[in-house]
Amino acid sequence: MPLNAQQLNTATFAELLANTRHTAVHLEMRDVYAVGDERDDFENFLRTGVPNLDPARSFWPQWMPLVKDAVARGVVMRRARIVSEPVTDYIRYEHAITPLNLQAGEDVRWLPRRHASDIPLPGNDFWLLDERLVQFHHFSGTGDWAPDGKERTTAPAAVALCSAAFETVWERGIPHEKYTVQAS
């Protein structure tokens, strides 16, 4: 059942995704994230160089069922990441754990930042659900969630900007299986 305007503002992301019927696209544009639910795995990756690919650990037990359920309903889930090269340690880590995103049912592409210079981009990472709802993500300068970590809108101009930006990044992006990180 579709959510009303009030529910769009108060629903969890899981509830929003459960109400998504066609597409869920995510654009990430930061080179460093420092969100709490990844901290231990990231620090271990820095120490060992080995990613944690156990879908039963970290944030994956919550994420993977959401994606699998959406994909089973016919939702196409795509994630695009704009990255600086050579990549940061965090992007090396993110690239190394992306097989779990793929295993869940997402399709992932990478776009070197130098190929994004002429793309009109919103100021924040976002999810765009069914070409109707944008959830922007707000982060602190250090990469953790800002106190107002999300903002949602159905404003046609914001939806159009995010849709055009994502599709251009996606078109230029390199599929995960073909993208090799260039570490410094």
CA distance 108 to 80: 6
Nearest to 150 by CA among 126, 133, 128: 126
Percent of the chain with pLDDT over 90: 82
Q: Which two tokens stand for residue 42?
A: 């990231």
Token pair, residue 171, equals 């078109």
pLDDT confidence tier of residue 2, bands split at 50, 70 and 90: low
- 111, 81 in Cβ contact below 8 A? yes
Is the pLDDT assigned to residue 58 strictly greater than 90? no
Name the residue type at position 25: V
* Mean pLDDT confidence for 125-145: 93
| Residue 84 confidence class, pLDDT cut points 50, 70, 90 | very high
Q: What is the rounded CA–CA span in Å between residue 39 and residue 99?
A: 19
Single pTM value for the model: 0.94
Q: What is the pLDDT of residues 25-54, one digit of tens each?
A: 999 999 999 888 888 999 999 999 999 999
The per-residue b/e assignment along 113-148, b for 16 or more CB within 10 angstroms, e otherwise, is eeebeebebbebbbbbbbeebbbbbebeeeeebeee
Residue carrying structure tokens 């009030």: 6
The pLDDT value recorded for residue 3 is: 67
Q: Would you give the DSSP letter of residue 178? A: G
Taking residues 76-105, report their average pLDDT: 97
First-to-last C-alpha distance (Å) of the chain: 48
- Residue 1 predicted with pLDDT over 60: no
Quick one: average pLDDT of 12-25?
96
